[in-house]
């Protein structure tokens, strides 16, 4: 009954029993935080507080404190928004798409990847809110009964589609994550000795007891949520790209945007998963669960999506030339050779050239190389959004209004703040949540455990 | 009120999922009824071996999705075309049909929103899961590496459980 081909690498290393998996997953929760955790947490907290200060300053003074001008009305804010939403794509892709394709290597990484998704979508959501200037009117983006006319939201606008897409994505990803967490919280609850801890995990675990009927429903709910989340993941960045693609700005008005943005999002999301998991597996000694094979698989996804992004860049250039529209041609010529050439070529190097190195098996199984590359990819993807947004805007139809954008300390501070906030959330998660979906992982121990595989006939 | 008492139960602990699955099959073949099995992870084929019906949550989710789609159609029609039709950029919103293509994203998102959230709420309600609920498993080991069969006490139950591989039997 339990059999898996010998060619397949074991997904769980060492000679583990069910109880060993429990112990390995629960260790970070039950033991005191290592010093390194406190150091990183303090740095992240300071960054977050600095960003919070910059946000308060922006709200009290108005967005005039940013580097925006009348030509470049969208810059770092929207760049950061798209960058964070993009990063938030890998988690649900791993847990939903890989579930539908029955890729069992997802089980060791889906929990953290989904946590990362939720935390990065929270960062993304901050930017449109702050950009409103009057953040206390933020709820106006939702259609609610009112006496302003009544004045309804405009369902023809891609910005409103974005409201619906991001809210649906954030909430559905969160419940998907939580449904999977409940059995693992129950495991922590049943082991807890400290009464305060026991009480907290009792609340979090919703009374889960692992009844046969509940597991049957659990699997059905996971499957249906995966089926719903798969088109949802693809829709979110498609709609984000429509914020640009439905406009009339040369460089934005491009039909290739939806697939190109989705590929870019998966590309950057997987890179961020690599960055976080390489640290997590080291700090919490999870090398037996998050194995080199997992890292290699993710590197292959990065290589593939990086290549799709590369093809998209080149297609854009070709179509700009082939269209014969001089405004379109100028927009792309200006990107590559204008005053922002350095941003364009950083993007090209980081996103198109560097992932091609992953063709070498030696490099894609090298952890230090993977870590460095994952950061390069995320820098590249930030530049991609900056290039698309700022270089298309700063030289518009009227040369008299051409201008340049440079960020103020507030722009930079808010960006740094979101990085800090993201890491604060992730570090708190890593210390208090089961970072591996242990219940799911136990189902594959007999087929994919290293020691168990040796005894299969 | 002596009759409201539940019949005596026997709880047997196991340490292997395959043993539990075959124990459930043999016990049921012998004519015993199984009230519950607690396990730390889903065991494939256990629901069939216990004779559980298939869950209808997927059907429920489909219906919730249809409700979401209907809500999206209604609110886009009411807000854009009926209650306060506006001329946006020289493109007046005169009829829902002509406006529909730009409502597709909203229709899709609300379908997913309703299908996912209402299904999860249903899942919590039918499983009686809520924040702070008492643990449903009688033995804390069943969320770690133990498996428990719960069945009504009766003649020959205990020897049958022992023969099926139970490591510990508790009479409750």
- Show the tokens assigned to A276: 């976080």
CB-neighbour burial class of residue B97 (10 A; exposed 0-12, middle 13-18, buried 19+) = exposed
* Residue A287 pLDDT: 87
Q: What angle do CA A240, A118, A98 make, to 5 degrees?
A: 85
* Residue A3 pLDDT: 65
Please tell me the distance from the alpha carbon of residue A394 to that of residue A386, in angstroms, as a whole number: 11
Please measure the distance between the N-terminal and C-terminal CA atoms of chain B and give it in whole angstroms: 19
- Interface A:B, Cβ pairs < 8 A: 208
CA distances to A44, A423, B21, B129, B151 from A420, rounded to whole Å, are 4, 5, 48, 34, 53
Domain interval for residue B45: 9-54+135-171
Nearest CA in chain A to B65: A228
Interface of B with A in 95-124 (CB under 8 A): 99, 102-103, 105-106, 108-110, 112-113, 115-117, 119-120, 123-124
- Find chain B residues with C-beta within 8 A of A207's C-beta: 128-130, 132-136
Please choose, from the candidates A254, A238, A279, the residue with its C-alpha nearest in 3D space to the C-alpha of residue A116.
Answer: A279
Whether A179 has its CB under 8 Å from any CB of chain B: the answer is yes
Cβ B69 vs Cβ B107: under 8 Å? yes
- Show the tokens assigned to A116: 């990362």
B70 & B106 share domain: yes
Tokens 């539908």 found at: A100
Residue B1 covered by a domain = no
Please tell me the distance from the alpha carbon of residue B50 to that of residue B21, in angstroms, as a whole number: 9
Please tell me the distance from the alpha carbon of residue A341 to that of residue A343, in angstroms, as a whole number: 5
Three-class SS of residue A157? coil
* Residue B5 pLDDT: 53
Judge: B117–A155 Cβ closer than 8 Å, yes or no.
no
Mutant choice from A213, A226, A229, A447 vs B, greatest count of B C-beta within 10 A: A213
Whether A183 has its CB under 8 Å from any CB of chain B: the answer is yes
B86 & B29 share domain: no
Q: What kind and span of H or E run contains B92?
A: strand B91-92
Interface of A with B in 156-175 (CB under 8 A): 156, 158, 160-161, 164-165, 167-168, 171-172, 175
Residue B26 covered by a domain = yes
Reported as a pLDDT band with limits 50, 70 and 90, residue B31 is confident
B82 & B111 share domain: yes
* Residue A28 pLDDT: 87
Domain count, chain B: 2
Q: What are residue B155's phi and psi, to 5 degrees?
A: -65, 130
Whether A149 has its CB under 8 Å from any CB of chain B: the answer is yes
B93 & B38 share domain: no
B116 & B152 share domain: no
- Show the tokens assigned to B146: 């133990």
Please tell me the distance from the alpha carbon of residue A412 to that of residue A61, in angstroms, as a whole number: 16
Residue B49 covered by a domain = yes
B67 & B114 share domain: yes
Residue B3 covered by a domain = no
> Does residue A150 have a cis peptide bond before it, meaning omega lies within 30 degrees of 0?
yes
Cβ B142 vs Cβ B148: under 8 Å? yes
B106 & B159 share domain: no
B20 & B31 share domain: yes
Q: What angle do CA A388, A88, A278 make, to 5 degrees?
A: 110
Radius of gyration, alpha carbons of chain B? 26
Please list, in sequence order, all residues whose beta carbon lies within 8 angstroms of the beta carbon of residue A246, skipping any fewer than 6 positions away.
A158, A253
* Residue B6 pLDDT: 58
Q: Tell how strand B9-14 and strand B168-171 pair up.
A: antiparallel
Residue B2 covered by a domain = no
| Tally of helices (H runs) and strands (E runs) in chain A | 20, 0
* Residue B7 pLDDT: 65
- Show the tokens assigned to A434: 């089961």
- Find chain A residues with C-beta within 8 A of B103's C-beta: 155
Q: What are residue B11's phi and psi, to 5 degrees?
A: -115, 130
- Show the tokens assigned to A390: 């700022």
Three-class SS of residue A283? helix
Reported as a pLDDT band with limits 50, 70 and 90, residue B1 is very low
Among residues B126, B143, B161, which one ends one of the domains?
B126
Of B83, B136, B144, the CB nearest to A211: B136
For residues B34-46, average pLDDT: 90
| Tally of helices (H runs) and strands (E runs) in chain B | 6, 6
Residue B117 covered by a domain = yes
Nearest CA in chain B to A216: B47
Three-class SS of residue B152? strand
Residue B100 covered by a domain = yes
* Residue A457 pLDDT: 57
> Residue B88 gets which letter from DSSP?
E
Of A150, A212, A242, the CB nearest to B37: A212
* Residue A219 pLDDT: 92
Please tell me the distance from the alpha carbon of residue B144 to that of residue A5, in angstroms, as a whole number: 28
Please tell me the distance from the alpha carbon of residue B2 to that of residue A180, in angstroms, as a whole number: 41
For residues B132-140, average pLDDT: 89
Residue B146 covered by a domain = yes
* Residue A282 pLDDT: 86
Among residues B105, B126, B147, which one ends one of the domains?
B126
* Residue A1 pLDDT: 47
Please, which contacts does B18-21 make with residues 24 or more away whose CB atoms are closer than 8 Å?
Answer: B18/A1, B18/A2, B18/A446, B19/B147, B19/B164, B19/B165, B20/B46, B20/B147, B20/B149, B21/B45, B21/B46, B21/B49
Tokens 């730390």 found at: B40
Whether B57 has its CB under 8 Å from any CB of chain A: the answer is yes
CB-neighbour burial class of residue A406 (10 A; exposed 0-12, middle 13-18, buried 19+) = exposed
pLDDT in tens, chain A (457 residues): 456 777 778 888 878 888 888 988 888 888 888 888 899 999 999 999 999 999 999 999 998 999 998 889 889 999 999 999 999 888 888 888 888 888 888 888 889 999 999 999 999 999 999 998 888 988 888 888 888 877 888 888 899 999 999 999 999 999 999 999 999 999 999 988 889 999 999 999 999 999 999 999 999 999 999 999 999 999 998 999 999 999 888 889 888 999 999 999 999 999 999 999 998 888 888 888 888 889 999 999 999 999 999 999 999 999 999 999 988 999 999 999 999 999 999 999 999 999 999 999 999 999 999 999 999 999 999 999 999 999 999 988 888 999 999 999 999 999 999 999 999 999 999 999 999 989 888 888 888 887 777 776 5
Tokens 């992982």 found at: A441
Cβ A310 vs Cβ A352: under 8 Å? yes
SS3 content of chain B, % helix, strand, coil (to 5): 50, 15, 35
Please tell me the distance from the alpha carbon of residue B67 to that of residue B60, in angstroms, as a whole number: 11
Cβ A229 vs Cβ B156: under 8 Å? no
- Show the tokens assigned to B151: 């069945």
Look at A456 and B87; give whichever has higher pLDDT. B87
B46 & B89 share domain: no
- Find chain A residues with C-beta within 8 A of B133's C-beta: 206-207
For residues B101-114, average pLDDT: 94
Q: Quick check: B136 pLDDT over 70?
A: yes
Note the maximum CA span of chain B. Answer: 83
Reported as a pLDDT band with limits 50, 70 and 90, residue B151 is confident
B142 & B120 share domain: no
Q: What kind and span of H or E run contains A110?
A: helix A110-131
Q: Quick check: B9 pLDDT over 90?
A: no
Q: What angle do CA A44, A49, A55 make, to 5 degrees?
A: 125
- Find chain B residues with C-beta within 8 A of A221's C-beta: 57, 119-120, 123
* Residue A314 pLDDT: 93
B119 & B160 share domain: no
Whether A128 has its CB under 8 Å from any CB of chain B: the answer is no
Nearest CA in chain A to B91: A156
B69 & B114 share domain: yes
CA distances to A48, A236, A423 from A417, rounded to whole Å, are 4, 24, 10
């Amino acid at each position: 009954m339990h059999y898996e081909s010998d060619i397949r690498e074991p997904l769980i290393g060492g000679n583990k029993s069910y109880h060993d998996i429990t112990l390995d997953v629960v260790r970070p929760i039950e033991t005191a935080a290592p010093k390194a955790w406190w150091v990183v947490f303090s740095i992240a907290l300071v960054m977050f507080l600095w960003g919070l200060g910059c946000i308060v300053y922006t709200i009290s003074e108005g967005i005039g404190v940013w580097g925006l001008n009348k030509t470049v009305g969208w810059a770092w804010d929207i760049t950061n928004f798209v960058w964070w939403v993009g990063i938030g794509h890998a988690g649900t892709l791993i847990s939903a798409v890989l579930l539908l394709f029955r890729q069992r290597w997802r089980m060791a990484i889906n929990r953290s990847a989904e946590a990362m998704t939720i935390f990065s979508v929270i960062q993304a959501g901050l930017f449109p809110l702050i950009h409103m200037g009057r953040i206390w009117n933020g709820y106006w983006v939702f259609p609610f009964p009112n006496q302003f006319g009544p004045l309804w939201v405009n369902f023809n606008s891609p910005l409103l589609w974005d409201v619906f897409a991001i809210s649906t994505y954030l909430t559905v990803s969160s419940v998907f994550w939580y449904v999977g967490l409940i059995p693992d919280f129950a495991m922590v609850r049943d082991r807890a000795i400290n009464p305060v801890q026991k009480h907290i995990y009792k609340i979090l675990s919703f009374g889960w007891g692992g009844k046969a009927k509940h597991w049957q429903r659990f699997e059905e709910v996971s499957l249906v949520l995966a089926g719903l989340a798969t088109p949802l993941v693809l829709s979110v960045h498609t709609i984000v790209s429509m914020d640009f693609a439905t406009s009339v700005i040369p460089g934005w008005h491009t039909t290739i945007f939806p697939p190109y943005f989705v590929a870019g999002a998966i590309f950057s999301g997987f890179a961020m998963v690599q960055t976080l998991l390489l640290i997590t597996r080291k700090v919490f000694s999870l090398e037996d669960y998050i194995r080199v094979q997992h890292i290699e698989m993710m590197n292959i996804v990065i290589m593939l999506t990086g290549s799709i992004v590369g093809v998209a860049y080149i297609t854009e250039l070709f179509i700009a030339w082939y269209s014969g529209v001089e405004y379109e041609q100028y927009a792309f010529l200006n990107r590559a050779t204008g005053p922002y050439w350095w941003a364009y070529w950083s993007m090209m190097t980081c996103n198109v050239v560097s992932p091609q190195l992953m063709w070498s098996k030696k490099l894609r199984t090298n952890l230090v190389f993977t870590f460095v590359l994952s950061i390069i990819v995320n820098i590249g993807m930030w530049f991609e959004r900056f290039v698309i947004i700022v270089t298309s805007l700063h030289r518009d139809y009227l040369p008299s209004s051409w201008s340049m954008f440079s960020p103020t300390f507030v722009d930079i501070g808010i960006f740094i703040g979101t990085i800090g906030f993201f890491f604060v959330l992730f570090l708190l998660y890593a210390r208090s949540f089961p970072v591996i979906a242990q219940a799911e992982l136990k189902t594959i121990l007999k087929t994919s455990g290293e020691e168990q595989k040796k005894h299969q006939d | 009120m002596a009759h409201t008492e539940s019949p005596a139960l026997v709880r047997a602990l196991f340490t292997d999922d395959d043993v539990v699955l075959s124990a459930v099959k043999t016990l049921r073949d012998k004519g015993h009824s199984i009230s519950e099995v607690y396990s730390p992870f889903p065991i494939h084929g256990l629901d069939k071996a216990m004779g559980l019906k298939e869950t209808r949550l997927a059907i429920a989710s489909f219906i919730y999705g249809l409700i979401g789609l209907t809500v999206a159609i209604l609110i886009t029609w009411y807000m854009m075309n009926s209650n306060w039709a506006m001329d946006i950029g020289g493109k007046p919103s005169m009829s829902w049909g002509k406006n529909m293509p730009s409502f597709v994203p909203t229709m899709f998102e609300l379908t997913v929103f309703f299908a996912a959230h209402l299904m999860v709420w249903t899942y919590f309600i039918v499983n009686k899961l809520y924040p702070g609920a008492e643990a449903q498993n009688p033995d804390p080991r069943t969320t770690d590496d133990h498996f428990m069969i719960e069945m009504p006490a009766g003649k020959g139950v205990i020897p049958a459980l022992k023969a099926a591989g139970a490591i510990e039997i508790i009479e409750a």
